[in-house]
Amino acid sequence: MTAEEFVRRLDTENQRLLGRLAPDDTLKPEVEGDLTVVNLLKVALKNEIEATEIAGRWLVATDDVEVKLAFARQVGDEAKHYRLIADRLRALGVDLGSFDPLAKGYGPLFTYLDSLKTTVERVAAGQFTREAIAVVKNRQFIEFCERAGDAETATLYRDVIEPDERYHHDLGRRLLLRLASTEDVQEAAARAARKTLELADELQRRVLATAGIHHAPGC
Ligand SMILES: [Fe+2]
Ligand SMILES: [Fe+2]
């Protein structure tokens, strides 16, 4: 099929699977302690630092200038999200002095993404799919913040973070339209996207006992 057809199909399939991520189920298993805005923002810090780093690794691993620039843009945005979320936590009275978002190591999604070897798989998994997941989860998080009476955090996500994540998803779409031109490449891209969604789904279902935090709002 053509790249256009492929991207349209992948998008439809992603959206179908994303529809299964039910709001509170999505948030609960990933958080340590009570389900509060503060605890979820700490999970978000881990996501943002992981998203910054994976895009940075991929930026230096490609010779394709358009791909380099897409990952560079993402590195900057994810680092900005980290700083904005940390600022918001401080405003909520949280001392981040000794907080290390990677204290328990990288999560399974980061490890999987880091194992991907081709640009098309990276773009399909890390931008097109992961950022689509981020948009859904952020929307759920905005609703959660509103229910919790935290309009300021909701506004930060609605006005700044979510539009950026949507842009990252669109960067992925544009690159796939150019890169996903053969059947082999399309198969690899679809596999990477599916695995990314599976990992997100698995995290959602996991009962958190010893696993620590993984990935939730914002990436
Ligand atoms: Fe992002
Ligand atoms: Fe982000």
Convert the pLDDT of each residue in 54-80 to its tens digit: 999 999 999 999 999 999 999 999 999
**What pLDDT, on the 0 to 100 scale, is given for residue 213?**
40
What pLDDT, on the 0 to 100 scale, is given for residue 96?
A: 95
Rounded-to-integer distance, Cα 3 and Cα 84, Å? 36
CA of 1 to the centre of ligand 2 (A): 32
Nearest to 204 by CA among 136, 123, 122: 136
Mean pLDDT of 129-146: 92
CA of 85 to the centre of ligand 1 (A): 14
pLDDT of residue 17: 87
9 CA distance to ligand 1 middle (Å) = 22
Task: Please tell me the distance between residue 184's alpha carbon and the centre of ligand 2 in angstroms.
Answer: 30
Distance from residue 69's CA to the centre of ligand 1 (Å): 14
CB environment 170-184: b (16+ within 10 A), e (fewer):
ebbbebbeebbeeee
pTM value is: 0.89
On average, the pLDDT of the chain sits at 89
In this predicted structure, what is the pLDDT of residue 165?
95
Q: How close is the Cα of 175 to the center of ligand 1, in Å?
A: 15
Tens digits of residue pLDDT in 169-218 = 999 999 999 999 999 999 999 999 999 998 887 776 663 433 344 336 76
The pLDDT assigned to 24 comes to 54
Is the distance from CB of 71 to CB of 128 less than 8 angstroms? no
Ligand (nearest to CA of 161): 2
How far does residue 130's CA lie from ligand 1's centre (Å)?
8
Between CA 187 and CA 193 the distance in angstroms is 10
What distance in angstroms lies between residue 78's CA and the mean position of ligand 1's atoms? 6
Q: What angle do CA 113, 133, 189 make, to 5 degrees?
A: 45
- H-helix or E-strand spanning residue 7: helix 3-18
Instruction: Give the number of whichever ligand sits closest to the CA of residue 83.
Output: 2
- CA quadruple 138, 140, 141, 147: dihedral positive or negative? positive
DSSP per residue, 75-131: HHHHHHHHHHHHHHHHHTT---TT--TTTT---HHHHHHHH--SHHHHIIIIIIIHH
CA of 97 to the centre of ligand 1 (A): 25
- pLDDT confidence band for 18 (50 / 70 / 90): confident
- Is it the case that residue 115 has pLDDT exceeding 90? yes
**Closest C-alpha to 20, from 128, 147, 136, 125:** 136
Query: What pLDDT is recorded for position 31?
Result: 62
- For the cut 50, the answer to whether the pLDDT of residue 116 exceeds it is yes
Residue 83 CA to ligand 1 centre (angstroms): 14
E runs forming strands in the chain: none
